[in-house]
Amino acid sequence: MAGALYLRLNEDNPEPSKLIKISAALQDGAIIGYPTDTAYGLGCCINKPKSFDRIARIKETKTSELRLSIVFDSLQHLSDYTRPIPTSVYRILKKLLPGAYTFIIEANNKVPKVFNYKRTHVGIRIPDNAIARAIVTENMAPIVTTSAPWPSDDYSMDPAELYDQLKDKVDVFIDGGYCNNLKSSVIEVSSEGLFNVIREGAGDVSIFG
């Protein structure tokens, strides 16, 4: 690989011409490095399963051992990949998203087999980051995502330094400014509509008691 395409996007109003380039790359199977509301991540189009294997190689693990989530631009298309969501749960999602949360929800049979959380669930994210959501909107399909392989938890979130780390591993690197290098709060949702905090991260979990 000659080096990833480097694109600097406006953090509040991502440029449509650059989003078109990113979407075209994703539709061609590209791996992107991109910003979220927590840290930079790796992403690919959910309809390109061969790209999951490439992400596994970047993370130096097996595809079956990847912990992946699906990034949406809104709640509108969750039902494409999840079982029916109780109204009480939907109200909480609507209140907290976009936000720094990963909700583990019962999956339907459209979710790629690589998602192996208890084999029946999928992590969903709607980041509070305009660039991440705009990429999904332009792509017209969700993004499969995982954290990027930084050297340590306290590693710099300077995008220029991150590009140097990833330029020979990803196809497109999207500079969306500094990230805080945080983890999302992970919340499991039961079939009865109960919430269980798996990991407390950047998202406020006080609402769950």
- Domain range list for the chain: 5-208
Determine the straight-line distance between the first and last CA of the chain, rounded to whole angstroms: 49
Domain 5-208 has CATH 3.40.80.10: no
Backbone phi, psi, residue 42, to 5°: -105, 140
CB 69 within 8 A of CB 102: yes
Minimum mean pLDDT range among 7-21, 54-68, 140-154, 190-204: 140-154
Tokens at 74, concatenated: 């809104």
Work out the average pLDDT over 152-160.
70
160 in Cβ contact with 108 (< 8 Å):
no
- Provide, for the chain, the percentages of residues in helix, strand and coil under a 3-state DSSP scheme, each rounded to the nearest 5: 30, 25, 45
What pLDDT score was predicted for residue 148?
86
CA-CA distance, 89 to 196, in Å (whole number)?
A: 12
- Give residue-wise pLDDT tens across range 115-139: 765 568 999 999 999 999 999 999 9
Mean pLDDT value across residues 54-59 = 94
Task: For the chain, give the longest Cα–Cα distance.
Answer: 50
